[in-house]
Structure formats: C-alpha cells, structure tokens
Structure 1
Amino acid sequence: MKSDSSASAAPLRGLVGPLRSSEPVRVTPTPSAAVVLLEEASDLLIVHLDFPGALQTCERAWQSLDKDGQAEEPAGTSLEVKCSLCVVGIQALAEMDRWQEVLPWVLRYYQIPEKLPPKVLELCILLYSKMQEPGAILDAARAWFRDPASQGLPEYRALVELHLHRVLLPLGCLSEAEELVVSSAILSEEQRLDALQAISTAKQQQNQQLSHSEEAQKQNQAQKRNQEDSFSHKFLSLLVLLRRLWDSAVSHFFSLPFRKSLLAALILCLLVVRFDPASPSSLPFLYKLAQLFRRIREAMFSPFYRLPTHD
C-alpha cells in the first residue's frame, strides 16, 4: 500500500510541490476557453499588431463567456476576464481609427453604462477626450456617476477628477460639475476645494468669452447697419440722378418743334415695340398712325386755324 501511494503521488510532485501527509492533493485548474482566447487576443494586439484579429478574438471570448464561462469560473474571475477583454478591444478599435465605435461596442456587452467597470470607463473618457469628442461619453459617464453602486468603489474619487477635467469643464457643464463635486462625499476637503477652484476659473473664462462674443456681435451689427445705411444713401442718390436725367430729357423733348417731336415719338415707338415695318402684321398699325398724322395736319391747317389775310 505504501508503494502504491508513493507511485501515485510521483507525477504530481513536479506540479504542486512536496505533499504533506495531512495536505489534500490540489490540481492546477485548467484555464477556460475565455481565458485562453484573452491571452491569444493580447498576443495578437501587442506582439503581432493584428488589430482586427485581436478584436475578433475578443468577440469570440465574449461568446464563450455567454455560453458556459460563468458556470466554469467564479463570478469575480469572470468579471475580470470581461474587463480585460474590453480593454484589449478598446485598444484594437483605437489602433484601427475606429474610436467612434468604442462606446457602442462596450455597451453591446454591458447593456447599460452603470455596469461598466471603472477601468473601462476610464479608457473611454481618456479616448474620447483625446479625440476632442468628450460629448460622446457625457451621457454614459453621467449615468455611471449617479449610480449609488458606483459611488462606493475605490476608483470613484479618481474618476470624478478625470471626468471633471476631461469632460465637464471642456464642455462648459459648470453647474453639473459643481453639483458632482459637492455631492461626492468620498472626496477629501483638499480635492473638493481644488475642484471648486477649477470650476470658478472656468466660469470666469466663460464669462469673458461671453462678453467678448457680445462685443463682437454688437460690432458686427453696427457694421451691418452702416453698410445698409451706405447702400440706402447710394440708392437714393442714384434715384435723384435718374430723376434729374428724366426731367432734362422730358424738357428737351418738349422744347423740340412739333414735327420733330412726332418723328422722335415714332422712332421711339419703333425701337420699343421692335416691329418690322415690312411685315404684313404691322400694316394696320402704320395705316392707323398715318391717319392720325393726317387728321392732326388737317386740324392744324384747316381754314378755322388760318390767320386772317389783309388786302
């Protein structure tokens, strides 16, 4: 019996070390499929720089966790694996310049922002603030900070400062920033005073920018009014000039002899109407015009208008 027990324990000495008589035999647990895929995704990201392959491997690991990973591993280990998979996936998306997909990709697995791990939220804030798009993470971060479960985490204090300086202050959400600092009981007095001082400085800068923008707007409006007044003055001057030219033309026209005036009127009519005198359609008009001239001549040179002659 002694030889049998020593023979059965021989293969385990190299793995678990020397065994005591009172110590149970412990075997190293086999890593789950999600852990193996996580290591593979890390190698693809860091060693091989295969970013699409790393992202696909992370998605395969997530599917493995959804199927049977939770049954094989403790809850804490599963949460750590999920967080690590998100970190690798975020880095892969950022390297492929697909940073806009980071938050939707993460929320596809965590469903709601309140469930995001602190490390994942920190990476999202840093990424979107670096790309100068902090507004994309504002709603998700706001929901995470308002969740009571998040306020008890040890990373809450550091994330409040990060969210304050990277998201709220650049976006000008000063009231929300002040409310977050005042309501965060986990912050120390020094941190609270520093945060309130930063918010006060941002308010002063915002007021200065508003005053400068108002002054610039007033100057633009005054310049626009001056341009409109100048245009109206020029337009009135042009109208006065046209009226003077019209009055001069009319006075010159009526100063001409009667026959020259009729001839000028006829030429003006021909120029304005632009009809062809040789066209058959213009013959009735010319005939009526000739009759009008004949009647005017007969009226002017009729016996009633002749001057008396002296013998």
Structure 2
Amino acid sequence: MRSDLATSAAPLRGLGGPLRSSEPVRAGPAPSAAALLLEEAADLLVVHLDFRAALRTCERAWQGLDEEPAGACLEVKCSLCVVGIQALAEMDRWREVLSWVLQCYQVPEKLPPKVLELCVLLYSKMREPGAVLDTVCVWLQDADNQGLPEYRALAELHLQRVLLPLGCWSEAEELVAGSAAFSEERRLDALQAISTARQQQRHGQSGSEGTQKLNQEASPTSLPFLYKLAQIFHRIRKAVTSPLCRLPVHD
C-alpha cells in the first residue's frame, strides 16, 4: 500500500521529463457530441440489444450534426445510418429503412455508397428489390457519383440484385451499354447474363451459370467500413456473452 502511495505521489513523467502542474497536458481532440452519441447507440444496439433506444439515440445525434465541421460529420452521419438500419431490421421494421435514411440525406443523390449498398442488400435479401429501384437509378445517374471509386461495384450490384430479379431487361441493357463502370469484358459478360435471364424467364426457368457468376462478382466489396464495424460488434457481443474468467486474488 505504501509503495502504491509513493508511486501515485511521484511526478508524472512526459516525453521530456517530469510534467509540472503549469504545463498543459497533451491530449487529442475531444470527440464530438454526435460521435459520443454514436458510441452510445452502438452500445445500446450490440451490448444491451435495446434496438428502440439505439434508434432514438441515432436520431438525437442527427440533430446536432449541423453544428459539426462538414468533413468530420460525414463518417459519423454514415455510421449513425448503419446503426439505425440494423436497429430497424432487428425490430422487423426493415421496410422503413429507405425512407428513414432519406430523412437524413434529403435526396437519393447524397446517400453515401456504403448506406446505399446496405439498402440494396437488405431489400434484395427480403425479396423486395423494387423498393430501391428508383433511388438507385437516381444515384447512378448523378454526375458526381459517377466519379466515386464505389460506383462500379454499385452499378453491378444494382444490375444483379435489382434489375435482373425485376425483369427490367431494357434498363439493364441500357445501364451496361451506357455506363463507363463496365469494362469491355464485363460488359460482354453482363449482356450475356441479361440475355440468358430473359430467355429463362420466357421458359419459366430461373438461375444460370452466367447470372450466378455475375452475382458472385457483384458481391459487396466496397464496404470495408461496414465489415470492420460488424467485426467490432461481433467482438463486443462475444465478450459480453462469454463466461467471465476469474482472476487470481493476491493479498
């Protein structure tokens, strides 16, 4: 105990020697209010499984984003949407997801690629790809979005997960033929897949090697952020649910 007191009473040592009380403590920038609420929302979602409270916390954080620096709030805003989407899905309110994110971004063109891709995957998985058809079309037609590195992956995902399942053959061919997102080789593969899918629909068949190959190649690869976030959530959940290890107690 005495050694502990002596240690705590000793001067704190910085990089340049003992830290005097008159010297400012070096610290990183404090997290913004929105970032703190994001952390709280993620904790409610993953640790406490309180999905309704997580959603409310995301919405509270939105209200303070206007006061944040533009560059700093972009990733926080996107992350809030990811947490909110997951919370809505957990409450079986996935049909509200698209309208919910559009409340935050106002227009489809402004949706981050990460959020839009998540919406496409969600509605496709729930077999309602038509819900995102117009939103994705508007996003892909925006000139600013066409310069983004994620554009190609989203164009291919839209083709495979939305246009082909809906039988939008003309729209699919127009996208493939008129978009610079497709290389010549990918364009030929996509047009072949469209032709095959159209013929199979006429004969009442489903699935083909061409469309399956296109589906695999259109799997989400442009969202390392989402996967990283999911891994963090998984580790938190595992840590919370695993048995506590007892540490030896020393006198």
User: TM-score, normalising length from structure 1?
Assistant: 0.57
- 155, 158, 161: which one pairs with 2:156? 161
> After superposition, where does 1:30-179 map in structure 2 within 5 Å?
30-66=30-66, 68=67, 70=68, 73=69, 75-179=70-174
Report the secondary structure of 2:128's partner residue: coil
Larger Rg belongs to: 1
How many residue pairs end up in the alignment?
189
Q: Distance in 2 between matches of 1:18 and 1:87?
A: 43
Q: Percent identity?
A: 72
Give, in angstroms, the shift of residue 195 of structure 1. Answer: 1.2
Give, in angstroms, the shift of residue 76 of structure 1. Answer: 2.3
Give, in angstroms, the shift of residue 190 of structure 1. Answer: 2.3
Which structure 1 residue ranges, 4+ long, deviate > 4 Å from structure 2? Answer: none
The residue aligned with 1:276 is none
CA deviations 1:64-116 (Å, max 9, x no partner) are 113x2x2xx3x222110000000000000001000111011101110100000
CA gap of 1:11–1:143, structure 2 versus 1, over 3 A, is: farther
Q: Distance in 2 between matches of 1:123 and 1:79?
A: 17
Give, in angstroms, the shift of residue 51 of structure 1. Answer: 0.6
Structure with the greater relative contact order (CA < 8 A, sep ≥ 6): 1 or 2?
Answer: 2
Q: Distance in 2 between matches of 1:167 and 1:200?
A: 16
User: TM-score, normalising length from structure 2?
Assistant: 0.71
Kindly provide the amino acid, as one letter, of the partner of residue 59 in structure 2. E
Kindly provide the amino acid, as one letter, of the partner of residue 186 in structure 1. A
CA contact (8 A) 2:163 2:171 kept: yes
* Structure 1 unaligned spans of 5+: 1-9, 20-24, 211-311
CA gap of 1:205–1:34, structure 2 versus 1, over 3 A, is: same
Q: Distance in 2 between matches of 1:11 and 1:197?
A: 69
Tell me which protein shows more helix as a share of its residues: 1
CA gap of 1:65–1:11, structure 2 versus 1, over 3 A, is: farther
Give, in angstroms, the shift of residue 197 of structure 1. Answer: 1.4
Q: Distance in 2 between matches of 1:197 and 1:18?
A: 67
Report the secondary structure of 1:148's partner residue: coil
CA gap of 1:29–1:107, structure 2 versus 1, over 3 A, is: same
* Structure 2 unaligned spans of 5+: 1-10, 18-24, 206-251
